[in-house]
Structure 1
Amino acid sequence: MNDVAAAGFGFYDGIAPETDFDRLADGSAYRPLPGDWFVGVADIVDSTGHIAAGRYKTVNTVGAAVISAQINAAKGAAFPFVFGGDGAGFAFPEAHRAVAEDALARVIRWADEEFGFTMRGALVPVADVRAAGLDVQVARYRPSTGVDYAMFAGGGLAWAEKAMKAGRYGIEPAPAGTFPDLEGLSCRWTPMRARNGKILSILIVPQPGAAPGQVAGVAQRVLEITKRLDRGGHPVPAEGPGVGWPPEGLALEAHATHGRTSLLRRKAYLLAATFMAYVLFKTRWRAGTFDPSHYVHTTRDNADYRKFDDGLKMTIDCDAETRMKIEAVLKRAQADGIVSYGLFEQDEAIMTCIVPAVSRDDHVHFIDGAAGGYTSAATAIRQTAAGASQA
């Protein structure tokens, strides 16, 4: 690891990952970020409009690109990040600020030039979050031996996003023609159809002033209900995700990774590379040290279908009875002033991936609903809030 990447990241390295997801609901596993750290946030303006136009896979890819660019800029240093569907959040030490800002500015420019998306981005001092009476706390969850994901609590990341949308802490796009380093960003797996009924995107956020213990209790009740589902509602099939050729996300991956190479040449390269991968995954033939069966199973285990991001987010394969039980808990908790919630159903889940190297097990896989997912669940919360204010 080089000096730039290593500077100040030791705090996160010192957090022991949890393997029991339920423990993340009660807050005991979280540690506050150091006072000289920053949080970064980014999202796509009018993502709901792009989703309505059928571009949700593109929205997901651009949201994941924020994380991909930061991973490559950190050059091996571990840092906390979370995928939000139409954007992302992350945190880093003050010594890394210039590098993080450059990587985010490049993604903002690229999102506009490649896809016509207007993207917002902001870097917010943790000290300002605390001055506003909130905090940014992080934990690490290890779903498999190969990878772990950051979980956020304290309300600070949500506060930073609101500040960004209000026009504070914003950063400018990089100069025209500037490309981010998105090496490893891919979207090659086929969509995963629901097997139990519907893919249910769940978003649960604390109401202002709600007691943390009450919020944790609601999350724990929801998690307990999902345990009745096969594999806890994991949307990736037990045998792993499916493959097709050419992959549906090939054009998106070409836009993400062509850099100064022509788009046509990059597509031709990816067509050849993905065909070779398709043959290996279909036949399960080993190629040197690469074992496609192991890779597929690791992909399944590494998927982030549930997370804490100042609230509980889940994308699960859910039957109608389980959905009714979950919604009953959430309706009561919302009426009691504990949480607000949004639910959104669709037929499929999709996965966007960051794969540093196929020979390692540290590839990360972001799960979302294929027809709106977390973004549409968040819209449902806003619509409920608007209706309540007019009542």
Structure 2
Amino acid sequence: MSKNTGFYEELPRIARFEALTDPASYTPIPDDWMIATADIVGSTELITDGKYKLVNMIGAAVISAHINASGGQAFPYVFGGDGATLAVDPARRAESARILGVLKRWADEEFGVSLRIAQVSVADVRAAGFDVSVARYQASGEIDYAMFSGGGVSWAEAKMKAGENALPAAPAGAVPDLEGLSCRWSNAAAKNGSILSVVVRPVPGRSGAEFDRVTHEIVQLAQRLSRSGHPLPPEGPGLQFPPPGLNLEAHVSRGKASLFRRRLELVVGNLIAWVFFKAGLKTGDFEPAHYKAMVSTNADFRKFDDGLKMTLDCDAETQRQIRAVLETAQADGILRFGLVEQDAAMITCFVPSIHQDDHIHLVDGASGGYARAAAQMKSKTG
């Protein structure tokens, strides 16, 4: 086994998000690791058709399937809205390729959605003139999220979209292990103006210091917002019965079981959960108010992914300031950006156990935030 297998678990956790604008916060990933990428073909069209939850759920499935197979070993991943990127050590290369193949087959058979999947070694990324470095941002006492820099992740994604390094789909009927993946919470309405999805990427070949300076300024503007622009209320999101994502969750969680039976199981389970949350009933070590608050505390609403991505509850003046900074930097050839306004934020969750605080909550704009912002950014450059 590679001496680098425990590389990620040994990295320090960084508690201050603004520190992630500093290149010194990142550590190069070992050459023998693999970058695994996945994204939905035609996600913009699916979003236009109103299938925001489906797009987010398939993107989150890439992460949850890998977590379920990890045996508790931490690894770096980042949620992109319509896909995900992961770094895996050499001992897990084959398993990751298998999982991605299963997800590709499942997305096609269950939803009629085409999923691109690929793997490339970090050594190959560096041979192409890019790097892959990672940091661990401590979102709460129980959860941290990976941040990537160096341009290598973006290069790997571009190669995947060009058809390179592609992996095959698994045989027909393959089903991923998505235990714990759900979308039961209601969307969180904006409280301070609008939910702003921000995607910022550096222009290749320009000084990294220039980009770091601009992203630091954007992060500082966001920090001035109430709760740094956190889009979920501190007491947690709302819950209704039946939840808006129940049918989608039935598809995701049914495995090879009957869809009708799984819907029925979810209706009963969600009704019980709704009663407990509505009445604030405690059972054993489960306390509904605490759990809801941890949903907010653990939320992944801002990240560095070879650039900056944020989902912010943003007032009009701060939005104006953010746009002005980004437009100036874009005119100077430093970066490209996309900004999308929405009325609410959406949450996709991975909950290994309701009795622990290490549940994961991936946030995006409720009208296709990150994917729409990235498409907007692409349209500006042709």
What TM-score bracket applies, with the shorter chain setting the length? over 0.9
Map residues 1-391 of structure 1 onto 2, 5 A cutoff: 9-386=5-382
Q: Is the 8 A contact 2:5 2:90 kept in 1?
A: no
Q: Is the 8 A contact 1:7 1:93 kept in 2?
A: no
Q: Aligned partners of 1:249, 1:7: CA distance in 2, in Å?
A: 43
Q: How far did 1:142 drift? A: 0.7
Q: Is the 8 A contact 1:188 1:250 kept in 2?
A: yes
Q: Which residue of 2 aligns with 1:389?
A: none
Any runs of at least 4 consecutive aligned residues in structure 1 with deviations exceeding 6 A, and if so which?
none
Q: Aligned partners of 1:86, 1:78: CA distance in 2, in Å?
A: 22
Q: Aligned partners of 1:188, 1:278: CA distance in 2, in Å?
A: 10
Q: Is the 8 A contact 2:154 2:306 kept in 1?
A: yes
Q: How far did 1:279 drift? A: 1.1
Q: Aligned partners of 1:75, 1:141: CA distance in 2, in Å?
A: 21
Q: Aligned partners of 1:146, 1:278: CA distance in 2, in Å?
A: 25
Q: Is the 8 A contact 2:13 2:144 kept in 1?
A: yes
Partner-residue secondary structure (3-state), 2:25: coil
C-alpha offsets along residues 346-376 of structure 1, whole Å, 9 cap, x if unaligned? 1111000011111111111100001120000
Partner-residue secondary structure (3-state), 2:213: helix
C-alpha offsets along residues 307-363 of structure 1, whole Å, 9 cap, x if unaligned? 000000000011111111000000111111111110001111100001111111111
C-alpha offsets along residues 6-58 of structure 1, whole Å, 9 cap, x if unaligned? 99531001101100000001111111111100000000001001011110110
Q: Is the 8 A contact 2:137 2:144 kept in 1?
A: yes
Q: Is the 8 A contact 2:181 2:253 kept in 1?
A: yes
Q: How many residues align structurally? A: 382
Q: Aligned partners of 1:360, 1:134: CA distance in 2, in Å?
A: 39
Partner-residue secondary structure (3-state), 1:144: coil
- The residue type equivalent to 1:358 in the other structure is I
Partner-residue secondary structure (3-state), 2:345: strand
Q: How far did 1:146 drift? A: 1.1
Partner-residue secondary structure (3-state), 1:344: strand
Q: Aligned partners of 1:248, 1:169: CA distance in 2, in Å?
A: 37
Q: Is the 8 A contact 2:101 2:170 kept in 1?
A: yes
C-alpha offsets along residues 117-165 of structure 1, whole Å, 9 cap, x if unaligned? 0110001111110001101100000111010000000011100000001
Partner-residue secondary structure (3-state), 2:251: helix
Q: Aligned partners of 1:174, 1:255: CA distance in 2, in Å?
A: 19
Q: Cα RMSD (Å) of the superposition?
A: 1.2
Q: Unaligned stretches of 5+ in structure 2? A: none
Partner-residue secondary structure (3-state), 2:139: strand
Q: Aligned partners of 2:66, 2:223: CA distance in 1, in Å?
A: 34
- The residue type equivalent to 1:206 in the other structure is P
Q: Aligned partners of 1:299, 1:7: CA distance in 2, in Å?
A: 35
Q: Aligned partners of 2:285, 2:234: CA distance in 1, in Å?
A: 23
Q: Aligned partners of 1:105, 1:9: CA distance in 2, in Å?
A: 23
Q: Is the 8 A contact 1:8 1:95 kept in 2?
A: no
Q: Aligned partners of 1:176, 1:234: CA distance in 2, in Å?
A: 41
- The residue type equivalent to 2:211 in the other structure is V
